[in-house]
Homo-oligomer: A and B are copies of this chain.
Amino acid sequence: MPSDDLTGTERFELRPVGRVSSPLTDRTDAPRQPDEDAPPADILLEPEFAAAAADLRPGMRVILLTWLHAARRDTLAVHPRGDRTRPPTGVFATRSPDRPNPIGLHEVTITAVGEAGFTVAGLEAIDGTPILDIKPVLGSIETR
């Protein structure tokens, strides 16, 4: 792909590697971040990706990438955290789920690992949210 291709016709295709199982079912009730009283959740992986998850262990800090399937993709500015007393802000300076490519980042701690997936200590994503990727939180350079 040439680096001057900014014509807007290029597309990339994602497929979910798993899905969130959570007691949260309504976006409006969900906490805004994992450290804001979010409940534990299970991450159920599709069996064909089991080998990719083979080295996940309880106690690991990981970043879950999710597809925020309830988001609006045509929203370019929002009132941060839905607070209408705050001025409209370009979405790239906010964590709003509404954005051109609605990918969520959730830094969480794995508490248990099983055959079908794993459990995390606190996750604000609602039930059924597709999982796109799982990455370890980076430690210091010498431990990588």
Binding site for B on A (CB under 8 A): 1-3, 5-6, 8, 10-19, 21, 32-33, 35-36, 44, 46, 48-49, 51-57, 60, 62-63, 65, 67, 69, 76-77, 80-81, 89-95, 99-101, 103, 105, 127-128, 130, 132-136, 138, 141, 144
Are B93's CB and A60's CB within 8 A? yes
Query: Copies of this chain, how many?
Result: 2
Cα–Cα, bound, A136→B93 (Å): 6
With A105-B105, A144-B81 known as contacts, the answer to whether A99 contacts B11 (CB < 8 A) is: no
Set B10, B46, B92, B95: member contacting A56, Cβ < 8 A = B92
Question: Contacts A3-B128, A14-B11, A92-B56 known; A144 to B32 CB distance under 8 Å?
Answer: yes
